[in-house]
């Protein structure tokens, strides 16, 4: 859910250059039309886009978003602006409930058979009949810490309130992810709609704020690699990448539990190129393509063919990449409705506006 955004401007510039160089309207190169894709930053191997264009003769216009909320606002403004999008679980539920998605024709997506049954089963939490979405990546949220800078046990969300690490803590600049940490710390559900529980979590986040170095989205990765912070809330896919770059970094899922998330491909209700969108989803479900994406973005793939063909045994058997969820207390985000959205957003505004 979440994703490396630091080089997004460079990546956008690259795609713009590619498009202007080959001609977006060059019918000889792209006889089968266009496809407008909206995805997280750095959430695909760029070569995969070129391979798709070459194989299908379809011109891909590729844009990126930083949060689910930004993506939803864009689609709410113009549902036809993009054909295929990659939201997270609870946002897919919200899109379905707002009649903003098109039902998929799985006869045109035969490679969906490569997605493990357990991921489609988990998807039923937000797409009850598996009609609208195909899983792309999944993972957990946890604490990344630098073992040379932290000398306390890291097994609880509580450590993010430890005064010893004042100015050395990174929190996610995301209402659901930040609130999740405080809610689980207090033993509450990350999907609670109880105003009293939300108030307790809000007060905890306000109390924690003086200790926080920064509220960031994907910059946790680079700050932790560079030794700029001791502890950070991070997504498991990022943790795999950071361990490659800095062996002092360790990822932990706290004992109170975590969010297990799925990001999935969906097609917008007013898509102008829905057939091309189905071709894209089918292409992404190919074993070789899913493996290529996994090796680039390091987020766990639900594609069983890709999983079987991972050559690095340490990654293939990694408890970070492919954890045994029966050993972890987990819950998935759900869309909680307008009133709860307002409660959470008001709470987050209170945290962000607290003055110290």
Which domains, ranges and CATH numbers included, belong to the chain? Answer: 8-138+260-316 (3.40.190.10), 139-259+325-353 (3.40.190.10)
Confidence grade of residue 28 (pLDDT, cut at 50, 70, 90):
confident
Cβ atoms of 105 and 350 within 8 Å: the answer is no
- Tokens 């766990």, residue? 300
Instruction: Name the E strands within 202-327.
Output: 212-216, 231-235, 249-252, 258-267
Q: Distance (Å, rounded) from C-alpha 100 to C-alpha 269?
A: 5
Choice among 30-34, 61-65, 112-116, 325-329 with the minimum mean pLDDT: 325-329
Give 251-273 pLDDT, tens digit per residue: 999 999 999 999 999 999 999 99
- The first and second tokens of residue 178, run together, are 């930040």
Give 69-88 pLDDT, tens digit per residue: 999 999 999 999 999 999 99
Q: How high is the pLDDT of residue 66?
A: 86
Average pLDDT along the chain? 92
Q: Is the pLDDT of residue 355 over 70?
A: yes
Q: How high is the pLDDT of residue 6?
A: 38
- Work out the number of other CB atoms within 10 angstroms of the CB of residue 317: 10
Q: How high is the pLDDT of residue 26?
A: 67
Instruction: Name the E strands within 199-285.
Output: 212-216, 231-235, 249-252, 258-267
Confidence grade of residue 197 (pLDDT, cut at 50, 70, 90):
very high
pTM of the model: 0.88
Residues 153-156: contacts with CB within 8 Å, 24+ apart?
154/231, 154/250, 154/252, 155/252, 155/254, 155/255, 156/185, 156/254, 156/255, 156/256
DSSP state, residue 300: B
Choice among 1-10, 166-175, 197-206, 259-268 with the minimum mean pLDDT: 1-10
């Amino acid at each position: 859910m979440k994703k490396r955004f630091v080089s997004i401007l460079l990546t956008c510039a690259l795609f713009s250059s590619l498009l202007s160089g080959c001609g977006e309207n060059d019918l000889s190169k792209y006889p089968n039309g266009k496809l407008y894709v909206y995805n997280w930053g750095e959430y695909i191997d760029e070569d995969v886009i070129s391979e798709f264009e070459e194989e299908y003769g379809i011109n891909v216009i590729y844009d990126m978003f930083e949060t689910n909320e930004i993506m939803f606002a864009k689609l709410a403004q113009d549902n036809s602006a993009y054909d295929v999008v990659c939201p997270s679980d609870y946002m897919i539920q919200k899109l379905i409930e707002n009649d903003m998605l098109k039902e998929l024709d799985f006869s045109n997506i035969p490679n969906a058979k490569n997605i493990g049954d357990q991921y489609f089963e988990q998807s039923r939490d937000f797409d009850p009949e598996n009609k609208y979405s195909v899983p792309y990546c999944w993972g957990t949220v946890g604490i990344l810490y630098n073992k040379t800078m932290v000398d306390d046990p890291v097994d609880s969300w509580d450590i993010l309130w430890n005064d010893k690490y004042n100015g050395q803590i990174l929190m996610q600049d995301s209402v659901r992810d930040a609130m999740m940490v405080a809610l689980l710390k207090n033993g509450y559900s990350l999907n609670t709609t109880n105003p009293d529980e939300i108030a307790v979590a809000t007060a905890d986040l306000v109390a924690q704020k003086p200790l926080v170095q920064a509220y960031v989205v994907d910059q946790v990765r680079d700050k932790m690699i560079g030794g700029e912070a001791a502890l950070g809330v991070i997504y498991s896919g990022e943790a795999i990448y950071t361990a490659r770059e800095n062996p002092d970094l360790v990822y932990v899922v706290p004992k109170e539990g975590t969010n297990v998330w799925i990001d999935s491909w969906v097609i917008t209700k007013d898509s102008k190129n829905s057939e091309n969108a189905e071709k894209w989803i089918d292409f992404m479900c190919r074993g070789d393509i899913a493996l290529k994406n996994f090796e680039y973005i390091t987020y766990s793939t639900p594609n069983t063919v890709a999983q079987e063909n991972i050559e690095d045994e340490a990654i293939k058997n990694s408890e970070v990449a492919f954890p045994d969820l029966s050993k972890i207390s987990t819950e998935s985000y759900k869309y909680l409705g307008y009133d709860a959205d307002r409660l959470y957003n008001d709470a987050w505004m209170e945290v962000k506006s607290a003055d110290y």
